Structure 1
Amino acid sequence: MENRTLASRIRFARTDRRMTLDALADASGVSRAALSRIERGEASPTATLLARIAAGLGTSVASLFSEGEQSRDAGHAAPPPSSALSRAADQPSWQDPQSGYVRRNVSPAAAKGAAEIVDVTFPPGERVVFDNALGWHGVAQQVWVLDGTIEMTVGTETSRLFVGDCLFMRLDWPVAFHNPGETPARYAVVLSRLPA
């Protein structure tokens, strides 16, 4: 996904919620100046910043990549919200400028509000930390390793996951992803809402 497209979707999500840049800065903990540069497409947010922005908007990172958050000015029409098929060639992907990890939204538009699936390729030796301090309560994720090894730290507990392993976690603790191997790791993330 191009930086301009992501910028447009973040701006659309903010204005659709009638939030000012200052309000989003307060809700996300990301400075107004940084948000302004991100929304203008002058800076690409890191994975950590993107998670904070999504939490400040009261949504998931995956939803910022879905066609449902498509801006009116992005240059093409969004598919109908009832679209039940997500072709691999049409699934938006994004690369974290800091760690180099690549995330691809797999879920079709019709799945919005249900479980969301993300396919991640994580470079060797890299680490990403999400503090999850901004309103992810009520959201859980499962990480299912498809290739390589991922070391997950949830709160103070660390688990090393190998191919086929799956870890469930609530997103109300800090979470760190680390690839301790010498080859890229690939895993699926399934996000879902917990029952009230």
Structure 2
Amino acid sequence: MEIGTHLASTLKSLRQQRGWSLDRASEATGVSKAMLGQIERGESSPTLATLWKIATGFNTSFSGLLTVPASGLKEPLFVLGSQQQADLPDEQLQVRPLFPFDARFGFELIELTLPPHTEHASEPHEDGVVEHVTVTAGTLEVLIDGHWHPLNTGDAVRFAADAAHGYRNVCDAPATFHNLIHYPAGTRA
């Protein structure tokens, strides 16, 4: 299923499961009623920041908005290098869900690539969300508690993501990193 189609049906389903109107969903997410309606109809592709607002407002995972969760543990789950990246408008940050959120484990694993000389600010996520960032290529700086911390290939950091944080690449080559995002108990796919 194409990402935009999955997002549209997932958002509508989440809202209907809760019995929320678009107005109520807008209040919970901080995303306008008009934008939520456009996303549900497949008429608009949200930015990364908007997706995080929706995930937080609905107490659901980021990757659950973009991918169909794996059905079971009996069969291996292979993720191919050619797997589709999330096509997010006006975003320089490339996002590729590797292992979508599964409530049995409480985490998702996402690969992100930040082009040279770019910065991405991230608003606080839900209370209790923790990010584990490992740089797989290039050099990345991570904003934690108002301070930038440099990470080189192979370096990693864990931090509470329920506060403002960010990523920047001040180098001439792309920076790629894996982000294992752990959610508190009760988070839904």
Structure 1 residue aligned with 2:79 = 88
Q: Structure 2: any 5+ residue segments left out of the alignment? A: none
What is the letter of the counterpart of residue 179 of structure 1? Answer: N
Q: Secondary structure at the match of 1:190?
A: strand
Superposition pairs of residues 27-106 of structure 1, within 5 angstroms: 27-68=28-69, 80-82=71-73, 85-89=76-80, 93-106=85-98
Q: Structure 1: any 5+ residue segments left out of the alignment? A: 69-78
Native 8 Å contact 2:136 2:177 kept in 1 = yes
What is the letter of the counterpart of residue 19 of structure 2? Answer: R
Q: Secondary structure at the match of 2:116?
A: coil
Instruction: Quote the Cα distance in structure 2 between the aligned partners of 1:109 and 1:51.
Output: 14
TM-score (norm 1): 0.82
Structure 2 residue aligned with 1:183 = 173
Deviations 1:6-54 (CA, angstroms, capped at 9, x unpaired): 2222222222333221111101111101111122111111111110010
Structure 1 range deviating more: 108-117 or 139-148: 108-117
What is the letter of the counterpart of residue 180 of structure 2? Answer: V
Instruction: Quote the Cα distance in structure 1 between the aligned partners of 2:62 and 2:45.
Output: 14
Deviation at 1:110, TM superposition (A): 5.4
TM-score (norm 2): 0.84
Structure 2 residue aligned with 1:129 = 121
Instruction: Quote the Cα distance in structure 1 between the aligned partners of 2:121 and 2:101.
Output: 28
Q: Secondary structure at the match of 1:120?
A: strand
Match of 1:168 among 151, 154, 158: 158
Instruction: Quote the Cα distance in structure 1 between the aligned partners of 2:54 and 2:100.
Output: 22
What is the letter of the counterpart of residue 182 of structure 1? Answer: D
Deviation at 1:150, TM superposition (A): 1.4
What is the letter of the counterpart of residue 117 of structure 1? Answer: L
Q: CA RMSD in A?
A: 2.4
Q: Secondary structure at the match of 1:8?
A: helix
Number of positions where the alignment pairs a residue of Structure 1 with one of Structure 2: 183
Instruction: Quote the Cα distance in structure 2 between the aligned partners of 1:53 and 1:33.
Output: 14
Deviation at 1:61, TM superposition (A): 0.7
Percent identity among equivalent residues?
A: 28
Instruction: Quote the Cα distance in structure 1 between the aligned partners of 2:100 and 2:28.
Output: 28
